[in-house]
A and B are shown apart, each in its own frame.
Chain A
Amino acid sequence: QQQVKQSPQSLIVQKGGISIINCAYENTAFDYFPWYQQFPGKGPALLIAIRPDVSEKKEGRFTISFNKSAKQFSLHIMDSQPGDSATYFCAASMGNAGNMLTFGGGTRLMVKP
């Protein structure tokens, strides 16, 4: 049972454009929503995370938008760069340490120069 659904599976964006990746979750007990970035041959790296007490969080060019009523959250990458080409995973968990992360299936982003 996939509790976190991620779309699209792949995305091609021109340099300077906006990349948008969407995730939807089912478990209303989730209260921590991180995004991970993974380059080939590397482990996933925590990029940005949000808790449901805010609707948006921004760190540099990366923004998470969160819609609690719709049980959806998304990652926006502004001014996308070729160096952003990677696979992105959304995840969700209950917020306390020691809980499992439930991951989406991943989005392979390619930013064309």
Chain B
Amino acid sequence: DAGITQSPRHKVTETGTPVTLRCHQTENHRYMYWYRQDPGHGLRLIHYSYGVKDTDKGEVSDGYSVSRSKTEDFLLTLESATSSQTSVYFCAITGTSGYNEQFFGPGTRLTVL
């Protein structure tokens, strides 16, 4: 898992509640990403970070925010969860090869009721 952990691994919440997912890496990688995985859509990029306090939007960023105050942690926040945000969320980092090799964490399954 390239030294990537995600927490929680499973979460059930109710519509309208805030939710924060955490991604932690141990290898000091610069680039970190949040993707969501839904059937038939593969994985879609939500937000990514290219350094501490440097983040940018991805393909499906509406309803999500991120923060990166330390190199090792990248947080994804759903300010007010909706049922359409029920998904599996994956964090990824880019390796050190110089190419865009991305390595994924184990995922967080989020259910919004």
Contact = CB atoms under 8 A, between A and B. Distances in A.
Interface residues of A, number: 29
Contact of B99 (A45, A89, A95): A95
Interface string B92-103: 001000111111
A51 to B, nearest CB: 8
A49 interface: yes
Contacts of B98: 96-97
A59 B50 CA distance: 31
A61 interface: no
Given A97-B31, A106-B42, A46 B102 contact: yes
B50 A89 contact: no
Interface of B: 1, 30-31, 33, 40-45, 48, 50, 58-59, 90, 94, 98-107
Given A97-B31, A98-B48, A98-B50, A46 B42 contact: no
Interface of A: 4, 6, 9, 32, 34, 36, 41-46, 49, 51, 89, 91, 93-101, 103-106
Please report whether the interface of chain A is mostly helix, strand, loop or mixed according to DSSP: loop
A43 B105 contact: yes
Given A98-B50, A100-B33, A43 B104 contact: yes
B33 to A, nearest CB: 7
